[in-house]
Amino acid sequence: MADNRHSQAQSGEALLFLTDEQLRKGIEAMFFAYRGFTADPDRILAKYGYGRAHHRAIHFINRSPGSTVNNLLATLGVTKQSLNRVLRALVDDGLVESRVGARDRRERNLHLTDEGRALEAELSEAQRKRMRAAYRSAGPEAVSGFREVLEAMMDPEQRRQFHRMREANT
Amino acid sequence: MADNRHSQAQSGEALLFLTDEQLRKGIEAMFFAYRGFTADPDRILAKYGYGRAHHRAIHFINRSPGSTVNNLLATLGVTKQSLNRVLRALVDDGLVESRVGARDRRERNLHLTDEGRALEAELSEAQRKRMRAAYRSAGPEAVSGFREVLEAMMDPEQRRQFHRMREANT
DNA sequence: TTGGAAAGTCAACATCGCTGACGTAAAATT
DNA sequence: AATTTTACGTCAGCGATGTTGACTTTCCAA
Structure confidence at residue A169 (pLDDT): 45
Q: How far apart are CA A67 and CA A61, in angstroms?
A: 7
- pLDDT surpasses 50 at A1: no
Structure confidence at residue A141 (pLDDT): 95
170 residues of chain B, pLDDT tens digit each = 444 444 444 455 567 789 999 999 999 999 999 999 999 999 999 999 999 999 999 999 999 999 999 999 999 999 999 999 999 999 999 999 998 888 888 888 999 999 999 999 999 999 999 999 999 999 999 999 999 999 999 999 899 989 987 765 43
Structure confidence at residue B103 (pLDDT): 80
* pLDDT band for position A33 (cuts 50, 70, 90): very high
Q: Which of B58, B64, B65 is nearest to B127 (CA)?
A: B58
Per the structure, the residues numbered 50 to 79 in protein chain B that have their CB within 7 angstroms of any atom of strand D are 50-54, 56, 77-79
- pLDDT surpasses 50 at A2: no
Q: Are B18 and A136 in contact (CB under 8 A)?
A: yes
Nucleic strand D within 7 A of Cβ B47:
no
Structure confidence at residue A11 (pLDDT): 52
Mean pLDDT of A126-131: 96
Structure confidence at residue A95 (pLDDT): 96
The fraction of chain A above a pLDDT of 70, given in percent, is: 89
User: For A63-104, what is each residue's pLDDT tens digit?
Assistant: 999 999 999 999 999 999 999 999 999 999 999 999 999 999
CB atoms within 10 A of CB A105: 8
Element (DSSP H or E) covering residue B97: strand B96-100
- Burial-class residue A78 by CB neighbours within 10 Å (0-12, 13-18, 19+): middle
Q: How long is the CA B35 to C1' C17 vector, in angstroms? A: 14
Q: What angle do CA A63, A67, A72 make, to 5 degrees?
A: 80
Q: How far apart are CA A152 and CA A150, in angstroms?
A: 5
Nucleic strand C within 7 A of Cβ A70:
no
Q: Is the pTM of this model over 0.85?
A: yes
Q: How far apart are CA A112 and CA A82, in angstroms?
A: 19
First to last CA, chain B: 50
DSSP structure class, residue A101: P
Q: Among A2-11, A155-164, B64-73, which stretch is predicted with the lowest mean pLDDT?
A: A2-11
One-letter amino acid for residue A29 of the chain: A
Element (DSSP H or E) covering residue A166: helix A156-167
Structure confidence at residue B167 (pLDDT): 63
B14 versus A147: the higher-pLDDT residue is: A147
Q: How far apart are CA B33 and CA B26, in angstroms?
A: 10
Q: Which residue of B has its CA nearest to A117?
A: B2
The protein footprint on chain C, as nucleotides within 7 A of a CB, is: 5-12, 15-21, 25-28
